[in-house]
């Protein structure tokens, strides 16, 4: 083993420093750092015993279990590359991602065995299937694999610039883009988090992560708390996010810091049982996944007057936060996404890659040790995203004279609904496969519950008829439910540019009336 920045090796360091401290809690399982590190080492050694080796990509598919976190650290300890899969995809989307990632193994929970059985014939490159809670023939038992392997640190050289994760951002029905993140990238994400000017970010913190742990932001927040030596709590999410469960956990575990997306915070504050719980331990409230509206910030601060507030902004390619709005600035600069993290260098460029003046709008570009390595097997997209050492975000922003950044628009037509990133082009591909649709455009429209919802605007082929319900059901059979349009409008013509490109800004003017 070599390389102090290794993802799994950072866990080993923390386990030596705080062996008896409870590091991870999920449901009825809780492990000290020593216990957790031992299990991760056993998993790593078990994977090596199967014949998997450094550089192999290994997919994971879980809702919310301790074994998902063990997989992250176990895979990276043996030099493998983790490919976390969203548990809400459609079968064809799983096939596309697993094939594109060239995964040699899949670690998953028994809940997904019927799915695995259905798609297995389409996955010839996958050689090992490892299941939690299943003893089926031809399937490796996760727990047996751990129990039959030693708890010693694997003897694998891990370098800072070795691949650690491939995180898919979009494009699962077309050309997927997998963000390749190195061990150094992951380490610097934790450094950015731990360096924030918040007094409770130390080894005593008890941290509640509400969103699923396959998300980049959840995964990196958990890693950051581990880096500090704090206690991580994952919520069981098998019936979706339950605000009462989260409130009960805050009381019982004396949670100090919690992070959630805006829709979850809305659910917490609106829970009819909120006043029955003692929430006095909560000192840090964190928001991510989507920009939080000012009224919601005000409600949170009124309910929790002692808390510090952190509002994160970023993207998967930057692991995952680039700017943070903290403390009193959350109300003083409510429309801002804050200032850059400590290791993130930002510039705001015009179309000629020249810095724009303070207050002017330009594209925010990033440089620093948390910038992704590349898009997996996509050198063209990688080259298009980079100018020298700077990564092009696609976000149009401005910066005020105090250095605070404000989002103006997105070059990339991404919709954020309930904290999930939805790329309009992906949904448009599905719509255009419908035999009665000639043209389609997808935009995000304001939604009081989810922040944004997906709207499809379609032009039908001549003499064809189809209902809104039929189009929605057609999409639901093909893509994940959160990507399915919530509404459909029909047009005879689209507003287009001189080159014939649909002008989505005109569609937004028409349909995005708050």
Average pLDDT over residues 256-284: 94
Higher-confidence position of 304 and 76: 76
Residue 319: partners with Cβ closer than 8 Å, 6 or more residues away: 181, 185, 186, 188, 189, 216, 220, 370, 372
How would you class 110 by CB atoms within 10 Å of its CB: exposed for 0-12, middle for 13-18, buried for 19 or more? middle
pLDDT of amino acid 497: 58
How many Cβ atoms are within 10 Å of 326's Cβ, its own excluded?
A: 18
Q: Tokens 């930002």 identify what position?
A: 346
CA distance 99 to 93: 10
Low-confidence winner among 142-156, 158-172, 206-220, 394-408 (lowest mean pLDDT): 158-172
Average pLDDT over residues 254-269: 93
CA distance 494 to 502: 6
499 pLDDT higher than 60: no
Q: Listing from the earlier edge strand, what are the strands of the sheet with 257-260?
A: 29-32, 22-26, 231-234, 206-209, 257-260, 284-287, 308-314, 321-326, 339-340
Nearest by Cα to 85 from 425, 77, 385, 99: 99
pLDDT of amino acid 189: 94
CA distance 54 to 128: 15
pLDDT of amino acid 173: 34
Average pLDDT over residues 206-221: 94
Low-confidence winner among 340-344, 383-387, 408-412, 478-482 (lowest mean pLDDT): 408-412
**Given CA atoms 457, 460, 465, 466 in this order, what sign does their dihedral have?**
negative
User: How many CA atoms, within 13 angstroms, populate the side-chain half-sphere of residue 456?
Assistant: 31
DSSP label at residue 121:
G
249 pLDDT higher than 50: yes
How would you class 37 by CB atoms within 10 Å of its CB: exposed for 0-12, middle for 13-18, buried for 19 or more? buried
Residue 189: partners with Cβ closer than 8 Å, 6 or more residues away: 220, 223, 224, 319, 320, 321, 370
CA distance 264 to 273: 15
CA distance 281 to 262: 21
Using H for helix, E for strand and C for coil, what is the string for 182-200? Answer: EHHHHHHHHHHHHCCCCCC
CA distance 272 to 130: 41
Average pLDDT over residues 256-266: 92
Name the 3-class secondary structure at 399.
strand
142 pLDDT higher than 90: yes
Tens of pLDDT, residues 427-439: 888 998 899 998 8
pLDDT of amino acid 171: 45
DSSP label at residue 48:
H
CA distance 203 to 200: 9
Higher-confidence position of 407 and 405: 405
CA distance 488 to 465: 13
Tens of pLDDT, residues 74-115: 999 999 999 999 998 999 999 999 999 999 999 999 999 999
CA distance 236 to 296: 25
CA distance 260 to 289: 8
CB 174 within 8 A of CB 93: no
User: Domain 7-303, what fold?
Assistant: Rossmann fold (3.40.50)
pLDDT of amino acid 136: 79
For the chain, give every residue range classified as CATH 3.40.50.12780. 7-303
How would you class 115 by CB atoms within 10 Å of its CB: exposed for 0-12, middle for 13-18, buried for 19 or more? middle
How many Cβ atoms are within 10 Å of 401's Cβ, its own excluded?
A: 7
**Given CA atoms 187, 170, 208, 340 in this order, what sign does their dihedral have?**
positive
Average pLDDT over residues 166-195: 84
Backbone angles phi, psi at 504, to 5 degrees: -65, -25
Using H for helix, E for strand and C for coil, what is the string for 376-413? Answer: CCCHHHHHHHEECCEEEEEEEEEECCCCCEEEEEECCC
pLDDT of amino acid 423: 77
User: Domain 414-511, what fold?
Assistant: GMP Synthetase; Chain A, domain 3 (3.30.300)
pLDDT of amino acid 498: 46
145 pLDDT higher than 70: yes
Higher-confidence position of 134 and 95: 95
pLDDT of amino acid 388: 94
CB 166 within 8 A of CB 179: yes
221 pLDDT higher than 60: yes
Secondary element (H or E) of residue 347: strand 345-349
Using H for helix, E for strand and C for coil, what is the string for 290-315? Answer: CCCCHHHHHHHHHHCCCCEEEEEEEC
% of residues, the chain, pLDDT over 70: 96
pLDDT grade, residue 412 (50/70/90)?
low
pLDDT grade, residue 4 (50/70/90)?
low
289 pLDDT higher than 90: no
User: What does the chain come to in residues?
Assistant: 514
174 pLDDT higher than 70: no
CA distance 436 to 475: 13
Q: What Rg, from alpha-carbon coordinates, does the chain have?
A: 23
409 pLDDT higher than 80: no
For residue 394, give both structure tokens. 């696609």
pLDDT of amino acid 81: 98
Residue 357: partners with Cβ closer than 8 Å, 6 or more residues away: none
**Average pLDDT of the chain, as a whole number:** 92
DSSP label at residue 338:
B
CB 396 within 8 A of CB 431: no
For the chain, give every residue range classified as CATH 3.30.300.30. 414-511
CB 348 within 8 A of CB 397: yes
Residue 65: partners with Cβ closer than 8 Å, 6 or more residues away: 26, 27, 109, 132, 234
pLDDT of amino acid 419: 85
pLDDT grade, residue 462 (50/70/90)?
confident
pLDDT of amino acid 298: 87
Nearest by Cα to 282 from 252, 253, 311, 250: 250
């Amino acid at each position: 083993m070599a390389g102090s920045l290794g993802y799994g090796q950072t866990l080993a360091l923390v386990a030596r420093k705080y062996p008896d401290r409870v590091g991870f809690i999920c449901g009825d399982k809780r492990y000290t750092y020593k216990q957790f590190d031992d299990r991760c080492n056993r998993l790593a050694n078990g994977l090596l015993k199967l014949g998997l080796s450094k550089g192999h990509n290994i997919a994971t598919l879980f809702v919310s279990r301790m074994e998902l976190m063990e997989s992250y650290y176990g895979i990276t300890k043996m030099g493998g590359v983790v490919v976390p899969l969203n548990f809400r995809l459609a079968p064809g989307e799983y096939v596309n991602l697993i094939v594109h990632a060239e995964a040699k193994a899949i670690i998953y929970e028994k809940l997904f065995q019927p799915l695995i059985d259905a798609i297995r014939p389409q996955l010839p490159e996958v050689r090992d299937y490892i299941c939690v809670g299943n003893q089926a023939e031809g399937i490796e038992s996760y727990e047996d694999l751990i129990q039959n392997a030693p708890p010693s640190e694997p003897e694998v050289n891990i370098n800072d610039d070795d691949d650690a994760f491939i995180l898919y951002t979009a494009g699962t029905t077309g050309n997927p883009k997998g963000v390749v993140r190195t061990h150094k990238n992951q380490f610097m994400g934790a450094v950015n988090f731990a360096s924030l000017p918040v007094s409770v970010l130390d080894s005593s913190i008890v941290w509640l992560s509400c969103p699923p742990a396959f998300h980049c932001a959840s995964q990196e927040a958990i890693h950051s708390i581990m880096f500090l030596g704090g206690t991580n709590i994952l919520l069981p999410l098998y019936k979706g996010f339950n605000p009462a469960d989260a409130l009960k956990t805050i009381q019982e575990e004396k949670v100090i810091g919690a992070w959630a997306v805006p829709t979850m915070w809305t659910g917490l504050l609106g829970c009819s049982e909120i006043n029955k719980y003692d929430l006095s331990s909560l000192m840090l409230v964190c928001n991510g996944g989507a920009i939080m509206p000012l009224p919601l910030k005000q409600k949170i601060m009124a309910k929790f007057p002692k808390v510090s507030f952190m509002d994160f902004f970023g993207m998967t390619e930057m692991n995952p936060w680039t700017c943070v709005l903290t403390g009193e600035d959350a109300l003083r600069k409510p429309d801002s996404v804050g200032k850059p993290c400590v290791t993130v260098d930002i510039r705001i460029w015009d179309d000629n890659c020249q810095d724009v003046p303070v207050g002017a709008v330009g594209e925010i570009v990033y440089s620093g040790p948390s910038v992704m390595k590349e898009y997996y097997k996509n050198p063209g997209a990688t080259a298009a995203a980079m100018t020298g050492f700077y990564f092009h975000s696609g976000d149009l922003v401005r910066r005020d004279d105090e250095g605070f950044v404000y989002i103006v628009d997105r070059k990339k037509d991404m919709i954020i609904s309930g904290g999930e990133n939805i790329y309009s082009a992906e949904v448009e591909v599905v719509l255009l496969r419908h035999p009665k649709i000639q043209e389609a455009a997808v935009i995000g429209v304001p939604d009081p519950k989810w922040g944004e919802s997906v709207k499809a605007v379609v032009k039908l082929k001549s003499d064809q008829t189809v209902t809104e319900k039929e189009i929605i059901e057609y999409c639901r059979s093909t893509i994940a439910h959160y990507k399915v349009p919530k509404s459909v409008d029909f047009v005879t013509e689209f507003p287009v540019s001189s080159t014939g490109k649909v002008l989505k800004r005109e569609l937004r003017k028409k349909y995005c009336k708050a």
